A and B are shown apart, each in its own frame.
Chain A
Amino acid sequence: MSHISIRDVSLVYDTPAGRVTGVQGASFDIEQSEFLCLLGPSGCGKSTLLNIIAGFLAPSSGEISIAGKPVTGRGMDRGVVFQDFAQLFPWRTALGNVAFGLEMKGVPRAEREKIALEQLRLVKLEKFAYAYPHHLSGGMQQRVAIARALAYNPSVLLMDEPFAALDALTREDMQRLLSEVWRTTRKTVIYVTHNVAEAVYLADRVVVMTPHPGTVKVHVAIRLARPRDPLSVEFLEHQKELLRHLGT
């Protein structure tokens, strides 16, 4: 059985300009420990779909289930990483941020700090455990956000363009790091991006979405060995294929 099943999910909402279809009839499955990228231009509904999976938005129709359980709202089986660096709590240290989910679960202080420190080590930030977010660079803040989303051990990691606001060099480092983290933790990941190279670098499978209305156009499997070489011929072939599907 697949880990996450998305069945005919649509979201229609009313705006002052009339009814808008954000997502229309999205259906696909995601396997346990699969790294899936939702790729598409802005406005194609990929973030909306992620927010529905996260439980922040309720779909107008359709169903989502995770490990056989229907999604009816937020849940601790999912960790979420947003694009905005401001997602961290400025009044908590890196460690305090990472420990938040465990605190909500009622894990005692000593134990949650030990786990949080392990998570920070996973994203190579254990030296900055006691730094406040405003003393960390954008890339470091996003690494804390990843550690925070993983700390309470959800089975699914949902990521909404987490590296889009970073400079190109940092973004490449972060992609390498995320790839390692994923191989270590074996989480099921749904990763939203509009960056074709990023999708080819990270994903087992790319779901291409097209806008107006937001629909799933095609699935593209990426069967390249990791770590992937962005300059290899196969890598570039995959990029070309995705660009073709995006119609550019």
Chain B
Amino acid sequence: MSATTERARSLRRAAMSLLLAAAIYEALARSGLFPAALLPTLPAVGRALVDGILDGSLPAHAVSTLYRVLFGMSLAVVVGLPLGILMGRFRPVEGFFLPLASALMPIPSLAWVPVFILWFGLGNATAIGIVFYAALFPMLLNAWSGVRAVNPLWLRAAGAMGADERALFWKVIVPGAFPFLVTGLRQAFLRAWIAVVGAEMLAASDWGLGWVIFDAKEFLRADVMLASLAVIGLIGFLFERLVFGTLERATVQRWGMVRVERG
């Protein structure tokens, strides 16, 4: 079976799952069991979505949310990736940072929002800080596990061929840990995306998809809330499928280090 028919088949499967879920929702919305203001029909949500896009407000909100996510996540990668790799490679680094990570990790990122507001005030700094906090640990832990999972035989073979510590790091450890690094990026984005919406509800003033939802509550605009949720879901979905899916196909799938995904 060629890759393109497999690709088309996977798209069709994804569309089927989504359509079925939408149909069930629409049936519920039209059943009259709930007030229309609380459970708007899909066309109503669609109208709110189109209005928001046409007047430019939804794209602007999406851009400011994406900016916070990408900024915070980049910081998390810049810190978490090297630190995780160093933890996996050097015992003293592991001994120092692992207890710290274990203690901080179980604290929900949203629990930090009031603290961060106190420190950084309302606005971008707090949202980015929360995103950083949420994305840091998946990146860190996956990098750490990835280095520990590198086949010792690769290190031994590379050593026999004259690789020094620097070459071992860049040419064996990093690519050898790649399945974990890709998973780390994926999870970091997911956590960041979840965290940013919550942070915006509490800490953003005027901009961001999370703020839209919180603000719409004041005006009982369930359609606007759902439209914003749809945008949040769609952007997350696109990142997951396009960015991380492409990255995985171009690397660890091509190298046979993980099996090809289905669905």
Task: Give every chain B residue within 8 A of A101 (Cβ-Cβ).
Answer: 161-162
Say if the beta carbon of B251 comes within 8 Å of chain A. Answer: yes
B158 neighbours in A (Cβ, 8 Å): 89, 100, 104
Instruction: Give CA–CA (A104, B163) in the complex, Å.
Output: 6
**B256 lies within 8 A of A82 (CB):** no
Contact among B163, B167, B256 for A132, CB-based, below 8 A: B256
Q: Is A90 an interface residue (CB 8 A)?
A: yes
| Interface mask (A70-84 → B, CB under 8 Å = 1, otherwise 0) | 000010101110101
Interface of B is mostly: helix
CB-defined contacts of A91 to chain B, threshold 8 Å: 175-176, 178, 251, 255, 257
A243 at interface, CB cutoff 8 A? no
Q: How far is the CB of B95 from chain A (nearest CB, A)?
A: 23
Asked if B256 and A135 make an inter-chain contact with CB atoms under 8 angstroms apart, the answer reads yes
Give the number of residues in B that approach A within 8 Å (Cβ atoms): 23
Which of B161, B167, B257 makes the CB contact (< 8 A) with A152? B161
Whether a CB of chain A sits under 8 angstroms from the CB of B154 is yes
Flag if A79 contacts B160 (CB, 8 Å).
yes
Asked whether A86 and B175 contact (CB < 8 A) given A76-B162, A133-B256, A134-B256, the answer is no
Which A residues are CB-close (under 8 A) to B167?
Answer: 104
Q: Is B121 interfacial (CB 8 A cutoff)? A: no
Which residues of chain B have C-beta atoms less than 8 A from A82's C-beta? Answer: 153, 156-157
B160 in contact with A74 (CB, 8 Å): yes
Chain B residues in 8 Å Cβ range of A78:
160
Residues of A with C-beta under 8 A to B162: 74, 76, 101, 104-105, 152
- The minimal Cβ–Cβ distance linking B175 to chain A, given in whole angstroms, is 4
- List residues 205-263 of chain B with CB under 8 A from any CB of chain A: 251, 254-257
Q: How far is the CA of A132 from the CA of B256 in the complex (A)?
A: 8
- Of all chain A residues, the one with the shortest Cβ separation from B254 is A132
Most buried by B among A84, A104, A133, A134: A104
Q: Is the CB of B154 within 8 A of A87?
A: yes
A56 within 8 Å of B (CB atoms): yes
Q: Are A87 and B157 in contact, CB atoms less than 8 angstroms apart?
A: yes
CA distance A205 to B35 in the complex (A): 91
B131 within 8 A of partner (CB): no
Which residues of chain A have C-beta atoms less than 8 A from B254's C-beta? 132
Residues of chain A in range 100-122 having any CB-CB distance to chain B below 8 Å:
100-101, 103-105
Question: Does B108 have its Cβ within 8 Å of any Cβ on chain A?
Answer: no
B161 touches A84 (CB 8 A): no
Selected contact of A90 from candidates B156, B161, B164, B255, CB within 8 Å: B255
Interface string of B151-179 (1 = CB under 8 A from A): 10110111111111001000110011010
Q: How far is the CB of B262 from the nearest CB of chain A, in Å?
A: 18
In contact, A89 and B154 (Cβ under 8 angstroms):
yes
Contact, CB under 8 Å: B257 / A80: no
Q: What separation, in Å, do the CA atoms of A248 and B238 have in the docked complex?
A: 66
Most buried by B among A80, A89, A133, A134: A89
Contact B161 A134 (CB under 8 A): no
Residues of B within 8 Å of A89, CB to CB, are: 154, 157-158, 172, 175-176
Q: CB of A54 within 8 A of chain B?
A: yes
Q: Which residues of A contact B178 (CB under 8 A)?
A: 91
| Sampled A-B contacts (26; CB under 8 Å) | A55-B160, A56-B160, A80-B157, A82-B156, A82-B157, A86-B151, A89-B154, A89-B158, A89-B175, A90-B255, A90-B256, A91-B175, A91-B176, A91-B178, A100-B161, A100-B163, A100-B171, A104-B162, A132-B254, A132-B255, A133-B256, A134-B255, A134-B257, A148-B161, A149-B160, A152-B162
Footprint of B on A, CB under 8 Å? 54-56, 74, 76, 78-80, 82, 84, 86-87, 89-91, 100-101, 103-105, 132-135, 148-149, 152
B-to-A contact residues, CB < 8 Å: 151, 153-154, 156-164, 167, 171-172, 175-176, 178, 251, 254-257
* Closest CB pairs A-B (n = 4): A134-B256, A101-B161, A104-B162, A91-B175
Given contacts A76-B162, A132-B255, 11 further A-B contacts (CB under 8 A): A54-B160, A74-B160, A80-B156, A82-B153, A82-B156, A86-B153, A91-B251, A91-B255, A91-B257, A101-B161, A152-B162
